[in-house]
């Protein structure tokens, strides 16, 4: 499992004391998933949210990018099979063909940018179609 996360402290909306938030994004069972847990140090206020469909919640994604920096996924073979790239992107991201073409062009020309987990997920989808990739960005934390 590939994971990336962070811990931050904010104010509890119930009592005003410090509230610890743990934010994370990970790959599990072939899907990108996210979670956020909160625990107040001064009252019983606590919760846990998890997402398993659709993109990672914006507040989690933005926090991960701010903390760890973006990662660029690039093709290491300049001339991969274009149909295989399209199929990998469409299958992994459930994209319509025009959007998959646009992402494939971006991948080929400049690389795709996102969180480490997002880019690892796409890299695996591309590897399954024998398309070699590489990363430019911070190291990954294998779970």
pLDDT for 18-40, tens place per residue?
999 999 999 998 889 999 999 99
Instruction: Report the distance separating Cα 110 and Cα 51, nearest Å.
Output: 29
**What pLDDT does residue 137 have?**
62
Domains of the chain by range and CATH?
Answer: 2-68 (no CATH), 71-142 (3.30.1390)
Tokens of 62: 């933005």
pLDDT at position 142, please? 45
Does 52 score more than 80 pLDDT? no
Q: Give me the chain's average pLDDT, please.
A: 91
Per-residue DSSP letter, 136: E
Q: How many CB atoms lie within 10 A of CB 121?
A: 22
Q: Is-contact 135 72, C-beta < 8 A?
A: yes
CA distances to 45, 62, 81 from 32, in Å = 28, 16, 25
Distance CA 22, CA 17 (A): 16
User: Would you state the pLDDT for residue 90?
Assistant: 94
pLDDT tens digit sequence for 87-127: 999 999 999 999 999 999 999 999 999 999 999 999 999 99
pLDDT at site 80: 86
What pLDDT, on the 0 to 100 scale, is given for residue 53?
67
| Cα R_g (the chain), whole angstroms | 17
Whole-number Å distance between alpha carbons of 21 and 42: 14
What does the pLDDT read at residue 123? Answer: 96
pLDDT given at position 138: 56
């Amino acid at each position: 499992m590939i994971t990336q996360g962070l811990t931050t402290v904010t104010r509890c909306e119930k009592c005003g004391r410090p509230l610890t938030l743990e934010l994370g994004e990970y790959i599990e069972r072939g899907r990108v998933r996210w979670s956020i847990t909160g625990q107040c140090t001064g009252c019983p206020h606590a919760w846990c949210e998890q997402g398993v469909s659709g993109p990672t919640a914006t507040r989690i994604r933005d926090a991960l990018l701010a903390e760890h920096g973006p990662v660029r996924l690039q093709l290491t073979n300049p001339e991969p099979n274009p149909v295989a790239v399209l199929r990998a992107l469409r299958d992994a991201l459930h994209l319509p063909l025009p959007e998959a073409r646009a992402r494939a062009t971006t991948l080929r020309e400049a690389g795709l940018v996102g969180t480490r987990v997002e880019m690892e997920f796409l890299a695996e989808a591309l590897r399954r179609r024998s398309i070699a990739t590489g990363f430019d960005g911070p190291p990954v934390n294998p779970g």
